[in-house]
Structure 1
Amino acid sequence: MEIETNKKNVMLLKVAITLLFASIILPTNIKTIAVVFFACVVLSTISYTKFVFRKGYFLYSTLFFFVLILSSLYSDNKTYALRKVTSMSSLVIFPFLFSLLTKDIKSIVKSWKPLLLKVYIFSVFSFNILPFLYLWFTNYTFSEMIIHYATIVRVDFGKFGIHPIYLSMHTSLAILFSFFVILNTTSKRLMALILAIDIILISFLLLYAKKGPLIALCLILFLALFFKRRDKFFKPFLISIIVLVGLTIAVPKTRNKFIELFKMENVQDSTINSTNIRYGIYESAIDVISKAPLLGYGIGDYNDVLYEQYKVEGSKVLMEGRYNAHNQYLSFLIMGGLVVFVLFVFYLLLSIVLGIRFDNQLLILTIIFYGVVMFTENILERESGVLYFSLLTSYFSLFNSKE
């Protein structure tokens, strides 16, 4: 095999991709270094092999992003456009790097999946539990931690600070991945450890009380059960998911969040909460989109245009918050109109279709999870969202082939 010509590079590649799957525990500046390290190792590794490039995958997975870049041509705010393109660059970096892997290298990288899933699970678990324990022992009482932890993760984590919505997403995906780890191990100790971790991760999810990730998690877990409906663990996992749904309803903090959905009103006319704020944002976003439906306003001006709409409507709450669209699909419609929106949805749907064709369950479930959360968040416009969306979907897309 050609890969045997440089085993050292393969080992470095393993270290680099493992570091990326563990990068949630790294501060922001080190995350960037981890991506650069991975890129250097990939380029070094393929330099010893015959050049290949999966241009089909690269094209359909990045075309919407290249059109977004072109939208900067009709943006007035070029500085902001450059900043957003840079922050979203993971959308092209990971598809490009994974497209360069030869068949032999790809086969080896795919064999690391059990390790990478476990690394991600333990990293997310550590990032949840260790800061909680540290801050509890040093800064806050237990009751204060329970009540305010969703704010604490943003304010008191320093360079490790993260919005609770993104930490909820990581936690949800770790729970999903643990489902597959349990199904593919015979070690009772590992099963017991993963189940114990899941119980703690679910507790943190309820603590953050973020509706989007909770809804997406319940949906993908039911879909995962459907895929594994003939497995011996079907009944225990079904009971576990029903318990999760029951806890979401029973715990007052999460129950009240979901009750908001049935009392949704424009924030100008009602109580200020996350649901009503989003309702007001979506009304403004739809008004903006209707004025430039085909090409939008450009990646540099989309937030300015939305803010001006808040001014026109006289929404003091939305003006003071300078809120973005809080919906990735609406945001893309404002940035690049129907052209970008259609290309992006095409990428999501084609990924799912190919996942079904090759029985690539993790890709299907990961795409659906992110796709659901995108209805309430612009997750591809911040590093905490876009880096992991691109990394996970690019890696799982390697399994859209037969050896």
Structure 2
Amino acid sequence: MIVSERTYRFSYNAWLIILAVSLIFRVPATILLILFTIFNLVFFKRLKFTRKRLFFILLIASPFLLDLLFFWNNDVFTEGIKHAEKRVSLLLLPLFILSQNHRLNTILILRYYALATTAILSFCLIRFAIISPELFNKYLNGIDLWEMGYEFARSIKMHAPALNLHVAFVVVINFYFFKEALGQIRKTHIVWRFVFFLLSLIVLFYINTRLAIVSVFFGIILVSLLGNKAVFSAKTFKKLAVGLVVFIVLGIGFVKLFPYSIQKFSNVTFAHLDKVGKIDQLENPEAEAFNGLVTRLSIWKSSLEVALKNPVIGVGAADGKQDVVTYFKDTNQQFLGKYKFPVHNQYLDFWIKFGILGLVVSLFYVFLFLYIGIASRQVLCVFFFILFASANFVDDFLIRFDGIVFSGIWLSIFTKNALDIKLDKLK
């Protein structure tokens, strides 16, 4: 197929924007990922592989390569195939993106991804208020506020913590471009970028996942102080102040409207820590501990004990969760066994499944964001590291389609940009 270089570059940037935005909806995202693969196969002759590109392709694909290396360790091979299939995108995305022989317009991709995602989620929030007025009114009256973010996420068929990964990233991207607009002459740029920053903050506070809110707070500080260059000036601190004031004012307003948030961040989170591993001693574990740190700590305690039973080779990708659930039941932890909780810690999860090499690869994969961000001075990549590393400490996003593709596409884009920057310096 004959396509001009200009048309091909434009279409490729558009593909990456559309694919990244679609990740908040699993079915369309899956279809688009397949079509993106076909698109790259059609234009396979345009791909160029170098040793350095292949090296980073293998690094990004390392979680998928673990599936292949330890495939023999699954009790049921068909289940092993299902788990490997989830992570095959970690091979396809870097294979196609890093092998492009033209520069990606990373800034344009980030900007339009954030704008489109903010617009779509704002529309979804308005839709939620219309189609579920009884839930929306219930929250406004302060009833069952703990579930409001989950119900909104379910309305678009997504898990709230996974959705918050996208929202937190989008909030910080919007702030990044709002901060850049403050130095421009045209006031309209400042206004509409501030509006999108504000809209994304509202969505973040509504979904109300604790870790995402804390990550955004530090992300705003990081982007304000660093940006493209580490310059500590009065102008820099002015930009920081603007972002933090908006964040804090909106946060205070949200707490006034939904006072349960304070309880969620304090009493609910840190209650019953003396019951780690003994949650069944509580009178009503569902009401008292379901969203508390004690549940996470109890899961981690049992998961660590499972990991230490097979520390070298693990139990296999398909058998990890079942082994943990079986351990809950064997140790008479009825509450944890009833709800069949996953590990909720990606590093422990990979240790259980793939042994000590799984632990090393999971840490390496996450820290690759930090290395790429620092090496190429991409502050948003550094923030992605903070967001993804902390999120995987309390959850396991490399076993979920949204977490796998979400991290894979952005790590590939940031790495491609870093390689292009280094090539420009060499020239």
Relative to the length of structure 1, the TM-score reads 0.88
Q: 2:177 matched to 1:165?
A: no
Range moving further from structure 2, 176-185 or 280-289: 176-185
Match of 2:138 in 1: 144
Match of residue 34, structure 2, among 36, 44, 56: 36
Cα 1:55–1:5 change in 2 (3 A) is same
Q: 2: CA distance between counterparts of 1:329 and 1:49?
A: 34
Match of residue 110, structure 2, among 117, 123, 131: 117
Q: What displacement does 1:58 show?
A: 1.3
Match of residue 333, structure 1, among 348, 351, 356: 351
Aligned residues with identical type, % of pairs = 18
Q: What displacement does 1:355 show?
A: 2.2
Match of 2:204 in 1: 205
Q: 2: CA distance between counterparts of 1:296 and 1:121?
A: 39
Q: What displacement does 1:307 show?
A: 0.9
Match of 2:285 in 1: none
Q: 2:301 matched to 1:283?
A: yes
Contact 1:281 1:323 in 2 (8 A): yes
Q: What displacement does 1:46 show?
A: 4.7
Match of 1:55 in 2: 54
Say which SS state the counterpart of residue 298 (structure 1) adopts. Answer: coil
Q: What displacement does 1:174 show?
A: 0.6
Cα 1:99–1:398 change in 2 (3 A) is closer
Range moving further from structure 2, 296-305 or 143-152: 143-152
Contact 2:372 2:418 in 1 (8 A): yes
Match of 1:66 in 2: 65
Match of 1:90 in 2: 89
Contact 2:74 2:315 in 1 (8 A): yes
Letter in 2 for 1:96: L
Q: What displacement does 1:337 show?
A: 1.6
Cα 1:150–1:309 change in 2 (3 A) is same
Match of 1:269 in 2: 281
Cα 1:28–1:49 change in 2 (3 A) is closer
Q: 2: CA distance between counterparts of 1:51 and 1:201?
A: 38
Say which SS state the counterpart of residue 398 (structure 1) adopts. Answer: helix
Range moving further from structure 2, 16-25 or 307-316: 16-25
Letter in 1 for 2:280: Q
Match of 1:319 in 2: 337
Q: 2: CA distance between counterparts of 1:154 and 1:234?
A: 30
Q: What displacement does 1:376 show?
A: 1.0
Cα 1:137–1:355 change in 2 (3 A) is closer
Letter in 1 for 2:35: F
Q: What displacement does 1:289 show?
A: 1.0
Contact 2:217 2:244 in 1 (8 A): no
Aligned residues: CA RMSD: 2.6
Match of 2:125 in 1: 132
Letter in 2 for 1:172: A
Say which SS state the counterpart of residue 375 (structure 1) adopts. Answer: helix
Range moving further from structure 2, 277-286 or 139-148: 139-148
Say which SS state the counterpart of residue 355 (structure 2) adopts. Answer: helix
Q: How many residues are paired up?
A: 391
Contact 1:81 1:300 in 2 (8 A): yes
Q: What displacement does 1:12 show?
A: 2.7
Q: What displacement does 1:248 show?
A: 7.8
Cα 1:385–1:347 change in 2 (3 A) is closer
Q: 2:274 matched to 1:237?
A: no
Q: 1: CA distance between counterparts of 2:208 and 2:399?
A: 22
Cα 1:288–1:255 change in 2 (3 A) is same
Q: What displacement does 1:161 show?
A: 0.7
Contact 2:48 2:100 in 1 (8 A): no
Cα 1:60–1:132 change in 2 (3 A) is closer
Relative to the length of structure 2, the TM-score reads 0.83
Match of 2:394 in 1: 376
CA offsets 1:259-299 (integer angstroms, 9 cap, x no match): 13332333323323222321221111011011111221110
Range moving further from structure 2, 268-277 or 291-300: 268-277
Match of 1:189 in 2: 188
Say which SS state the counterpart of residue 14 (structure 1) adopts. Answer: helix
Cα 1:247–1:345 change in 2 (3 A) is farther
Letter in 1 for 2:245: I
Q: 2: CA distance between counterparts of 1:280 and 1:293?
A: 20
Cα 1:222–1:269 change in 2 (3 A) is farther
Q: What displacement does 1:167 show?
A: 1.7
Letter in 1 for 2:408: S
Cα 1:247–1:281 change in 2 (3 A) is farther
Q: 2: CA distance between counterparts of 1:399 and 1:219?
A: 24
Cα 1:124–1:49 change in 2 (3 A) is closer
Task: Give the unaligned 5+ runs of structure 2.
Answer: 283-287
Q: 2: CA distance between counterparts of 1:207 and 1:50?
A: 44
Contact 2:19 2:32 in 1 (8 A): yes
Say which SS state the counterpart of residue 172 (structure 1) adopts. Answer: helix
Q: What displacement does 1:321 show?
A: 0.9
Range moving further from structure 2, 251-260 or 80-89: 251-260
Contact 1:327 1:375 in 2 (8 A): yes
